[in-house]
Structure 1
Amino acid sequence: MPPDAARRPTTRTYHGDVFTDEYEWLREKEDPEVVAHLEAENAWTMSRLEHLAPLRQSIFDEIKARTQETDLTLPSRDGGWWYYSRTEEGKEYPIHARYEVGGPDDWTPRVLEPGEPVPGEQVLLDQNAEADGHEFFSLGTFDVSDDGHLLLYAVDTAGDERYTLRIRDLRTGTDLDDEVPGTAPGAFFAPDGVHVFYQTIDEAWRPHRLWRHRIGTSRDEDAMVFDEPDERYWMGAGVSRSKKYLMIELASKVTSECWILEADDPAGEFRCVRPRSEGVEYSVEHAVLPVAGAPAGSPGRDVLLVLHNEDAENFELTLVDVPGAGGTASWGDVVVPHDPEIRLEGVSASERYVVLYYRRGAIGRSGILRLDTESPQTGPQVRPQLAGPRTSGRPVTGAEPVWSFEEMTFGQELESVGAGVGVWEQPNLLVGYTSFVTPSAVYDYDVATGERTLLKQTPVLGGFEPSEYAQRREWAVAADGTRVPISLVWRKDRVELGDDGIPLAPAPVLLYGYGAYEMSLDPYFSIPRLSLLERGVVFAIAHVRGGGEMGRHWYDDGKLGNKRNTFTDFVACARHLAAVGWTTADRTVADGGSAGGLLVGAAVNIAPDAFGGVLAGVPFVDALTSMLDPSLPLTVTEWDEWGDPLHDADVYAYMKSYTPYENIPDDASRYPEVLATTSFNDTRVMYVEPAKWVARLHAAGAPAMLKIEMQAGHGGVSGRYSAWEQIAFEHAWILQVLGLADVPAVSGR
């Protein structure tokens, strides 16, 4: 029998509703009885799954055998150095290093051979040495001063996402006396190399203050540059790619505001680009435009490329001059107009090009915007229309710059292509490409000729052949008639299809979903996933509402008062795959983490008969309790995503109707098998949520288990081998539920 958590009823009363919570006492993290219960849950789970130890070891060995353990990243140039990271066999963490640039025209990285010494290498930070003696280690900041002499880095050794900031003199290899505990990740040097900017977090783990530190002075002398008192807003800060401006971005889930300061005046006052307006989101990118007719070598025009959604649901890209103290009154000239079928997501600028990131047809895409300085600046002009490769746009009238556009694509139905700008002066572009069947690759792209040169592709050892795998798109129909995309990938000789494109026999399916925060699940390659595919599992992603795959409306239709669509979409996807013959309900495992854990927890309450198993990672299953407590991390900032049940009775009633913890029936004995995983030091979804959920599932007779990492955070354990062990644990359980625990991988690999 599973551990029997004591029932200690506490009463929760809001808006006239009384709810009795028997397991809220598990929230007392420092209580020895709570720790004892969690350890008992762990022990019971491991005893129940002890027989899977050989399978876990096999999966771990497969991941290890397919991974080139001693490897290097593709070097990237910044200033006078090429920077890269490398891994060594047997070591958990990467080693960060660099070598000197050969000259001003050296823009092609060396071909570095794994395991071979790199001539002129200087090791900047060995994470293995820094992690020595710690069960958990995470690097949150890594920035080198422009002169190349100093390294700014920050570490977390508990998993609670509070980082200690340090500065290392790379000429001596020693750390300076400057040290700041309790910082957020993402600190950075000002271009002068004298000042450091960092953020601190409040009791709710929200980055809310920006500080300026002068190297060599004490923490007490640091100046607070910015304070954001509104608890809905998170802060981000950094240096523009041009190194000309320092920027602050403040953002809630629905509103944003940007501030800017000339980087050569780091002690100056930031000024607002445009004051926040509720419901209006915008972001800015510095660019320099050539001036038509100006002599060669003349300075260009400093502008901001502004991506905003004011009267433009899917956002539009506009151009404004860098604002002065009064900010900007309008969004300026339109570069890429709003399109109801295309969601604009981001923009990056270099000295020569602008890269636009956007989404069309449930696939993320990127393309190059170029200013045509040879065309006349008056009369009929063109704006880019993002309809496909190499388009010149649609005609407009006005004295606006002329832009041309080129989409980057590799021609696959399901692919992820991202054009990287690199550093400001870089003459070429780097293009990243992957799919469900293609290991990640980076190409050098010559914009003038369109020629692509492969620079590096993630190696997959053990005879991997992409042609042995297939991917495709399916569409389910939700209860309200909405078509919901599903991505599928499988190994061809393990899942044979008939002439109708459906498996000749139902296959086991792992159905993954997330559905929140407008996050999109794009095609990606995974070495660990191969262990499932080689045993006959079909991996599927349900692109449910609440994500961003189909544009802003897709997100809006799966949040706040529309949140139930996320769960019913997922159930519709599971039922569709079973109805058309891809699988059966008892051979379908639902998988989701964090907000995706809420998704699978709600889905199994709605339709327990649709699944044979549920894997919930750090699951947000006690969402209503969390959203009622503004003292908890993230609660206030999340009200724009889920609603505010503390002050709104309708929101309270709606959330209570779907949150997994409150909706477990008294008799859940017909539920599929459930495995919940969590971490004791998680600050985003606290361990107590899955602990309470599993306790209540036990009490209702559901076959549920809990595995908790006592030294980890929201992202799980640190270190690659520890991560592989965690993946192997989960995959072995999945294979058991799907009836494949005794099925070997193809050819014994």
Structure 2
Amino acid sequence: MKTNYLSIFCLTTLFGMANAQTPTPLAAPKAAVKPKQLTIHGDTRVDNYYYLNERENPEVIDYLKAENAYLEQNLAPVKELRGRLFEEMKGRIKQQDQSVPYKEGDYYYQTNFVEGGEYPIYVRKKGALSAPEEVMFDCNQLAKGHAYYNLGGYEVSDNDELAIFCEDTVSRRLYTLRIKNLKTGQIYPEAIPNVEAGDFAWAADNKTLFYIKKDVQTLLGYQVYRHVLGTDPKQDVLVYEEKDNQFYMGLYRMKSKKYIAVVSDHNGVTTEYRLLEAAKPTESFTVFYPRERGHEYDIQHFGNKFYVRTNYKAQNYRLMEVPEGQQANRAAWKEVIPHRADVFLQNMDVFANHLVLGERKEGLTRLRVINQKNKSDHYLEFGEPAYVAGMSYNPEFDTNVLRYSYASLTTPGSTFDYNMDTKEKTLLKQQEVLGGFNKDNYVSERVYATARDGVKVPISLVYRKGTKKDGSAPLLQYAYGSYGSNTEPGFGSARLSLLDRGFIYAIAHIRGGQEMGRHWYEDGKMLKKKNTFNDFVDCSKFLIEQKYTNPTKLFALGGSAGGLLMGAVVNQAPELYRGVVAAVPFVDVVTTMLDETIPLTTGEWEEWGNPKTKKYYDYMKSYSPYDNVEKKAYPNMLVTTGLHDSQVQYWEPAKWVAKLRTMKTDQNQLLLHTNMEAGHGGASGRFEALKEVALEYAFMLNLLGIQQ
């Protein structure tokens, strides 16, 4: 199909004439303009690039390829640097490595990586760590012949002989469920397509399993099926269907193994659990406590009771317990841990003699251990200004040892065993960073910026010792700020490539996350969403004022909903940034939220609002990056996406870039990179993914004239 940009995308301009020394410079691609009117509430928006959503249209594919070629030519000066960065980051990773084993039942389970292997190998040993190793899943072998591969979890049957697992070879997050006999190595013939990753469970009979089926259009899990080993999946029994398409679903076997749980969650608004005794797989799931708008809860079963973490009359949550069988009567719920205005109760784990709570105070995680016998309690000490700590997988009840993870901006990821009685810590493993890394060469800080409405916003920073704070240092500011998702100040070995070149790295813990408690999330969603964008800009201004950097060296990075943040920020304050990286950005908010056929849309209405209601439409339109592109100067920008993205469809960033090209008044770089084989998470291999990071870093370093 002939288009108005293909003339710039021909062999002579791509590769140069046969005798030329350098390629002829490519003109910036220009997508064809095909106006489409979109009208609601008496308001009409004209979308010139709506047609870019035609994934199978050769014209669209050619346009994306033209953008990729344009990017490669613009970044040609740092082609060697991209390669060097990739090798540098890859070189810090211990290629032959293994996880800390954990014991469940009669087996020890472990994840291995081999030299040159992109993917994990899941193994187990019976009875002792010295026992022979059994390979359950070698993902390097399973991935052969696929450009993308992801094993979406597995679960072993009670008799340790069978495993459910699921695979995605497209990156569309539509997994195929399979069953493997771990004794014989046989993969059974039944293959169940379009399931939810990891949301499956064995019943206690070792032959019945449950799984969630997804709608292939919306990508929402909405049906729970029962399957019996050896039978035709077409005969599987539908045991529950979620009729409300604003709910997400989950399914798992509880730690006590007594119950299989189905969870329906209305995106930060409502929760409902259904339970089935695993020993009675043909019976019906029963509701734990019926859904109520505004009531969220999660549960743990232990002995003859349930622990319930609930926000009922408790914005930051409280912990309650209720006898088994009486859960539907809220009057029977007894308070264990009351609500606290300054502490957010994040999660919990239950042991025979201890209760462990994950709490968050002043933006940092804390682990609290409560002795169930004498009711005494204490907190683990961590001793760094910015860090992340959390409970690891603890499958056994009858133990006084808690396994937990810890990392900071200067401390690589670490796994500890902690004796909850003696308070003795044992470091089992710390992520080994090759290439001469020494944590003493780096410094972390925790500072607070004052937002325009007076709210104090925490910022976590890390930089190499000796970095000057006189405004001369380049700085990369990162944030997410949506869905109540916390951006933790953890370690990243790839980040060292920037720190060692003089960068400061800053995480802005803006509203929309939940770092400072539940109110932090509530103040950054729906009709308060602009607080998220304002916080980020105000953090940037603070970092400039405090001479951590200056506008000619300040860069911003965000992905997905954080890419929306990038789009809103460059519309609001483009003059603050030298360059912006928007990864898989959600930038066409209004159009996407109006289209219920797009994957995951309906479940997002409680985050952004439903634009079919005028007040949400008007507010959304006032910040949606695509709708607010103006004729003005924008910073240098790198925008990335994946053709098979199931979360943010590729056409949002493609349309945004096409519109920016026609509107912006500057000569700064505007580059679009589409991974033609991947989705929302990018490349699937542990090394291949680093190539995308190297691209982002090379883009920034090129703008600073750093090519080493």
TM-score > 0.5, shorter chain as reference: yes
CA distance in 1, matches of 2:114, 2:346: 36
Question: Residues of 1 paired with 2:568 and 2:624: CA distance?
Answer: 6
Contact 1:575 1:585 (C-alpha < 8 Å) held by counterparts: no
| Count of residue pairs brought into register by the alignment | 675
**Which residue, 29, 32, 45 being the options, matches 1:3?**
29
**1:11-44, CA deviations, whole angstroms, 9 ceiling, x for partnerless residues?**
0111111111101010111111011111111111
| 8 Å CA contact retained: 1:515, 1:543 | yes
> Percent of aligned positions with the same letter in both sequences?
40
Amino acid across the alignment from 2:577: F
Q: What is the DSSP-based 3-state SS (H/G/I as helix, E as strand, rest coil) of the residue aligned with 2:599?
A: coil
Match among 38, 54, 62 for residue 36 of structure 1 = 62
Which amino acid is the alignment partner of residue 629 of structure 2? I
Query: 1:306-362: per-residue Cα shift (whole Å, max 9, x none)?
Result: 1111111111111111236x8233361111111111111111223332221121001
* d(CA) in 1 for partners of 2:580, 2:406: 31
Q: Who is 1:559 aligned against? A: 525
Question: Given that residues 11 and 18 in structure 1 are in contact (C-alpha distance below 8 angstroms), is that contact kept between their aligned partners in structure 2?
Answer: yes
Residue 450 of structure 1 aligns to which amino acid in structure 2? K
Contact 1:241 1:350 in 2 (8 A): no
Deviations along 1:169-223, one digit per CA (max 9) or x if unpaired, are 1111111122211111112222321111110112311111111111111112211
Residue equivalent to 1:191: 204
Partner residue, 1:693: 656
Q: 1:331 to 1:421 in 2, by over 3 A?
A: farther
Match in the other structure for 2:460: 487
| Deviation per residue, 1:81-117 (Å, 9 max, x gap) | 1111111111111111111123xxxxxxx5xxxxxxx
Distance in structure 2 (CA, Å) of the matches to 1:220 and 1:505: 65
1:653 paired residue number = 618
SS of 2:331's partner is: coil
Q: Indicate the residue corresponding to 1:573 in structure 2.
A: 539
State the match for 2:213 in structure 1: 200
Q: Counterpart in 1 of 2:432?
A: 459
Give 1:697-708 correspondences, 5 Å limit: 697-701=660-664, 703-708=669-674
Q: Distance in 2 between matches of 1:449 and 1:185?
A: 39
Q: Determine the structure 1 residue equivalent to 2:24.
A: none
**Residue aligned with 2:502, SS:** coil
2:60 is aligned with 1:60: no
Structure 2 counterpart of 1:356 = 357
2:312 — aligned with what? 310
Question: How far apart are the structure 2 equivalents of 1:27 and 1:323?
Answer: 51
Please, which of 404, 410, 420 is the counterpart of residue 392 of structure 2?
Answer: 420
Aligned to 1:346: 347
TM-score scaled to structure 1, two decimals?
0.88
Instruction: Determine the structure 2 residue equivalent to 1:629.
Output: 595
Q: How does 1:193-342 map to 2 (within 5 A)?
A: 193-202=206-215, 203-253=217-267, 254-288=269-303, 302-323=304-325, 327-330=328-331, 332-342=333-343
CA 1:60–1:18: 2 relative to 1, 3 Å: same
Q: Secondary structure at the match of 2:189?
A: strand
**1:170 and 2:175 aligned:** no
- Once residues 381 and 208 of structure 2 are traced to their aligned partners in structure 1, the CA distance between those partners, rounded to angstroms, is 41
Correspondence for 2:378? 406
Name which of structure 1's ranges 616-625 and 693-702 shifts more when overlaid on structure 2: 693-702
SS of the residue corresponding to residue 25 of structure 1 reads helix
Unaligned segments of structure 1, at least 5 residues: 103-109, 111-117, 289-301, 374-402, 497-502, 745-749
CA distances 1:561-608 after superposition (whole Å, capped 9, x unpaired): 100110011000001100111100121111000000000110110000
Conserved? CA contact 1:510–1:588, under 8 Å = yes
* TM-score, with structure 2 as normaliser: 0.93
Which residue of structure 2 lines up, in the alignment, with residue 292 of structure 1?
none
Distance in structure 1 (CA, Å) of the matches to 2:276 and 2:542: 53
CA distance in 2, matches of 1:5, 1:414: 45
CA contact (8 A) 1:421 1:429 kept: no
Aligned to 1:393: none
Tell me the residue number matched to 1:380.
none
Any conservation in 1 of the 2:409–2:490 contact (CA below 8 Å)?
Answer: yes
1:111-153 deviation line (CA, Å, top 9, x unaligned): xxxxxxx750111111011110000101113111121111211
* Equivalent residue, structure 2, for 1:390: none
Contact 2:511 2:520 in 1 (8 A): yes
Query: Are the structure 2 counterparts of residues 426 and 695 from structure 1 closer, same or farther at C-alpha, using a change threshold of 3 Å?
Result: farther
93-102 vs 405-414, which deviates more? 405-414
**Cα separation, 2, equivalents of 1:226 and 1:237:** 11
2:226, 2:239 within 8 Å by CA — same for their partners in 1?
yes
Question: For the Cα contact (< 8 Å) 1:359–1:551, is it kept in 2?
Answer: yes
Structure 2 counterpart of 1:653, one-letter code: D
Name the amino acid aligned to 1:166.
R
Contact 2:471 2:550 in 1 (8 A): no
SS of residue matched to 1:5 = coil
- Asked if structure 2 preserves the Cα contact closer than 8 Å seen for 1:318 and 1:331, the reply is no
Matched, 1:365 2:328: no
**Could you tell me how far 1:420 is from its partner in structure 2?**
3.2
State the 1:421 CA deviation: 5.6
Could you list the runs of 4 or more consecutive aligned residues of structure 1 that deviate by over 3 angstroms after TM superposition? none
Give the Cα–Cα distance (whole angstroms) in 2 for the partners of residues 587 and 451 of structure 1.
Answer: 45
CA offsets 1:290-315 (integer angstroms, 9 cap, x no match): xxxxxxxxxxxx11111111111111
Instruction: Give the letter for the 2:417 counterpart.
Output: D
Task: Quote the offset at 1:458 in angstroms.
Answer: 0.6
Find the counterpart in structure 2 of residue 612 from structure 1. Answer: 578
Contact 1:72-1:86 at 8 Å conserved across structures: yes
**1:419 & 1:687 partners in 2: Cα distance?**
35
C-alpha distance in 2, partners of 1:358/1:224? 38
Q: SS at 1:619's partner residue?
A: coil
Paired residues of 2:212 and 2:224 also in contact (CA < 8 A):
yes
> Which has the larger displacement, 694-703 or 677-686?
694-703
2:151 is aligned to 139
User: Residue in 2 aligned with 1:105?
Assistant: none
**Conserved 8 A contact 2:202-2:209:** yes
Write the deviation string for residues 599-619 of structure 1: whole angstroms up to 9, x where unpaired.
011011000011111100000
AA in 2 matched with 1:423:
P
Measure the CA separation in 2 of the matches of 1:158 and 1:310. Answer: 41
Unmatched tracts of structure 2, length 5 or more: 1-26
1:432–1:440 CA contact under 8 A, matched in 2: yes
SS of 1:639's partner is helix
Q: Which moved more, 1:437-446 or 1:186-195?
A: 186-195
**Structure 1 position 429 matched with structure 2 position 402:** yes
3-state SS in 2 of match to 1:372: coil
Instruction: Tell me how far 1:505 sits from its aligned partner.
Output: 4.4
Whole-angstrom distance in 2 between the partners of 1:441 and 1:78: 21
C-alpha contact 2:201 2:260 (8 A) present in aligned 1: no
Distance 1:709 1:331 in 2: 54
Q: CA deviation at 1:720?
A: 1.3
Indicate which of 1, 4, 20 corresponds to 2:46.
20
1:136–1:442 Cα change, 3 Å: same
What is aligned with 1:664? 629
Greater mean deviation of Cα atoms: 587-596 or 219-228: 219-228
**Aligned-partner Cα distance in 1 for 2:461–2:294:** 36
Match of 1:378 in 2: none
| Corresponding residue of 1:387 | none
Aligned-partner residue type, residue 415 of structure 1: Y
